[in-house]
Amino acid sequence: MADQIARRRSVLDGWALPSRAGLASLTNAGTAARFVYRGAPELVGDAFGVSLPTVPLRAHAQSGRAALWLGPDEWLLLSAEADGSTLAVALSSALNGKPAALVDISHRQVGLIVSGSSVEALLNAGCSLDLDMTTFPVGMCTRTLLAKAEIVLWRTAGDTFRIEVARSFAPYIVALLDEAMHGIA
Amino acid sequence: MLLITCPYCCTARPESEFRYSGEAHIARPLEPATVSDDDWAAFLYMRTNPKGLHAERWRHIHGCGRFFNALRNTVTDQILKTYPAGTPRPGLGAPAEGGR
């Protein structure tokens, strides 16, 4: 009997991610370990290595890890995929016996990086937030809607956003942004 | 499109991120077994349905996910104030608009 080998595939494998030279481009953020944590922010800050932001709509990022504020007691924790299992153990033991919830959602969603000088106009094709630097500065993150899909939007640099979207919505988001790229200048 | 200020996110957000969840400040009786059928029916079904200022629950479902309360004028559809769930209905510093 031939050996059975499970091969890991991303939902975006085989998709040509769109770009328009100089204006905007879409890239796959690659695999990541992701957790949704609900509870008191101080319980996991030390174990995670990055303090959890308590200011609404802010993200803290440091040495490859990031904690994104999603709600008053809810955070999205991002890390390298290789750290996932050790991080899960470290966070769980920090929470031992405490009233909190930690859910591994690493494979539930995919990350997309959108960047370029017209990135705000591109995202505004489906997102009604004001993405100007004065109202949506670097380090701001939020759960919101991009057309019909719920996303987490995080501004990591002046002309770069990270989108976290449910795996099943990823092809829709890529197709939507592909269309939208025809309309930006 | 309405802009609704979420009291948890502290910013004005588009209406499409929110869901309406009925009238606010309706407390479930602590001991349902002791409540008469008429009172229970009133708790379940009877609402004030005012023409004018209405305190109602909203949920920022595509944002922070939290329930909060809003004072909305049902005539003009203007949301005058939003406040966290569990806090008492605030005054507006002016006579309430509309009639009950």
- Nearest CA to A125 among A26, A54, A36? A26
Q: Is residue B100 part of a domain?
A: no
Task: Report the predicted TM-score, pTM, of the whole model to 2 decimal places.
Answer: 0.90
Q: Is residue B49 part of a domain?
A: yes
Residues of chain A with CATH 3.30.70.1520: 32-105
Q: How many residue pairs bridge chain A and chain B with CB atoms within 8 Å of each other?
A: 39
**Domain encompassing residue B14:** 3-26+34-94
> Mind telling me how many Å the CA of A145 is from chain B's nearest CA?
7
Distance CA A35, CA A107 (A): 10
- Closest residue in B to A151 (Cα–Cα): B62
Distance CA A34, CA A127 (A): 24
Residue B99 predicted with pLDDT over 50: no
Domains held by chain B: number: 1
Q: Is residue B67 part of a domain?
A: yes
Q: Is residue B44 part of a domain?
A: yes
Q: Is residue B47 part of a domain?
A: yes
CB B18 within 8 A of CB B61: yes
> Mind telling me how many Å the CA of A142 is from chain B's nearest CA?
7
Q: Quick one: pLDDT at residue A5?
A: 84
Given B1, B16, B66, which is nearest A71 (Cβ)?
B66
> Mind telling me how many Å the CA of A112 is from chain B's nearest CA?
19
Can you give the CATH number for the domain in which B10 is found? 3.30.2270.10
> Mind telling me how many Å the CA of B9 is from chain A's nearest CA?
6
> At which residue do the structure tokens 């494979």 appear?
A107
Whether residues A142 and B9 touch (CB distance < 8 A) is answered with: yes
Whether residues A57 and B9 touch (CB distance < 8 A) is answered with: yes
CATH class for domain A32-105?
A: alpha beta
Kindly report, residue by residue over B5-35, the tens digit of the pLDDT: 999 999 999 999 999 999 999 999 999 999 9
Q: Quick one: pLDDT at residue B93?
A: 65
Helix, strand, coil content of chain A in percent (nearest 5): 25, 35, 40
Kindly report, residue by residue over B56-71, the tens digit of the pLDDT: 999 999 999 999 999 9
Whether residues A142 and B66 touch (CB distance < 8 A) is answered with: no
**Partner A contacted by B63 (CB < 8 A):** yes
Q: Is residue B99 part of a domain?
A: no
B8 chain-A contacts, CB cut-off 8 A: 56, 71-72
CATH, domain range A15-31+108-185: 3.30.1360.120
Kindly report, residue by residue over A123-166, the tens digit of the pLDDT: 999 999 999 999 999 999 999 999 999 999 999 999 999 999 99
Q: Is residue B8 part of a domain?
A: yes
Whether residues B10 and A145 touch (CB distance < 8 A) is answered with: no
Q: Is residue B85 part of a domain?
A: yes
